Structure 1
């Protein structure tokens, strides 16, 4: 029988999560962070309208200084409406995979993060995190600065505090 325990985090009581069923496939926290750093995008799932989940692809930046994920987007829309009602989300991401020498199947690392998302209110931090996110995609610092100058005032930055992070290596066969 799977007994759920609770623990305290930041003054809030939280329930523990089930352990991974196939623990031999589990990857380390360091490998999870590597996938979050290197993979270009993942999918964030929200508590959606009319009891349907709502999931969308998003580019992300994992900030190793604070251990949080950052996402950019518009300052209005369904995503923000849903977060205002319930800011608990699931973010799932996977790497591009690899093949082992002499084998045909792909090995893929996937990471699942459960956490809470908040809008970053400090405009200085928004621009700082935009720069870090843009470094994954833009070819030069000059192109990043040009884009920030053009659209920086219209950018909304979301910050995800990760409550649980798990990852696994799957062999596609």
Structure 2
């Protein structure tokens, strides 16, 4: 299991996650998205186009899950396994309507994804604010798993 401190580290460090929702027709619908974690509010922000299937799904059923996989996942062939860290957040999704809150969320994306280009990024935020929807995920519960594996050199024996 992933403890709370490790889960928070993973939440801050990963670049993207998978948003899973109930589709309009009753099935499941999942989509990969980049995200930003807002430590001050303890919420996750997503951004997307102001129209589309994901928004219709959220409007119909705001209970969603968001799954994050750590960057350091890798297969360990000689152990027949994989090293990984993963986190599943059970959330309530809410559209952010307030313009200042949307601007703040978009600036958090710039800070996370383009920290060396903040000045240009903040200008881009102003230009694209009108065409960007922001989804806030209020985390109700999380579960996490981790598996650390050290690779060993296989022993090769020769028979005469």
Q: After TM superposition, is the score higher than 0.5? A: yes
The equivalent of 2:158 in structure 1 is: none
Structure 1: tracts of 5 or more residues without a match? 1-25
Which consecutive residues of structure 2, in runs of 5 or more, have no partner in the other structure? 152-160
Report the TM-score, using the length of structure 2 for normalisation.
Answer: 0.83
Is 2:37 the partner of 1:75?
Answer: no
Q: Which runs of 4+ in 1 moved over 4 A?
A: 103-106
Q: Would you say 1:143 and 2:132 are equivalent positions?
A: no
Residue aligning to 1:121: 97
Which residue of structure 2 lines up, in the alignment, with residue 164 of structure 1?
141
Query: CA RMSD for the aligned pairs?
Result: 2.0
Q: Deviations 1:111-134 (Å, cap 9, x if unpaired)?
A: 000111000111001001110112
CA offsets 1:48-67 (integer angstroms, 9 cap, x no match): 13222000001111111111
1:34-83 CA distances to partner (integer Å, 9 max, x unpaired)? 11111110000000132220000011111111111111111111111111
SS in 2 for 1:136: helix
Task: Say which one has the larger Rg.
Answer: 2
Q: Report how far residue 135 of structure 1 moved.
A: 1.6
